[in-house]
A and B are shown apart, each in its own frame.
Chain A
Amino acid sequence: EVQLVESGGGLVQPGGSLRLSCAASGFIFNTYAMSWVRQAPGRGLEWVSSIGGRGDDIKYADSVKGRFTISRDNSMKTQYLQMSGLRVEDTAVYYCVKPPQGWEPTIYYFESWGPGALVTVS
Chain B
Amino acid sequence: QSALTQPASVSGSPGQSITISCTGTSSDIGDYNYVSWYQQHPGKAPKFIIYDVDNRPSGVPARFSGSKSGNMASLTISGLQAEDEAIYFCCSYTSRSTVIFGGGTTVTVL
Contacts and interface: CB of A to CB of B under 8 A. Distances in A.
Contacts, number: 55
A1 interface: no
Nearest to A49: B98
Interface of A is mostly: loop
A114 to B, nearest CB: 7
Interface in B21-39: 34, 36, 38
A113 B36 contact: no
Given A100-B51, A111-B57, A45 B98 contact: no
Interface residues of A, number: 21
B45 A116 contact: yes
Interface of A: 35, 37, 44-47, 50, 59, 61-62, 95, 100, 107-111, 113-116
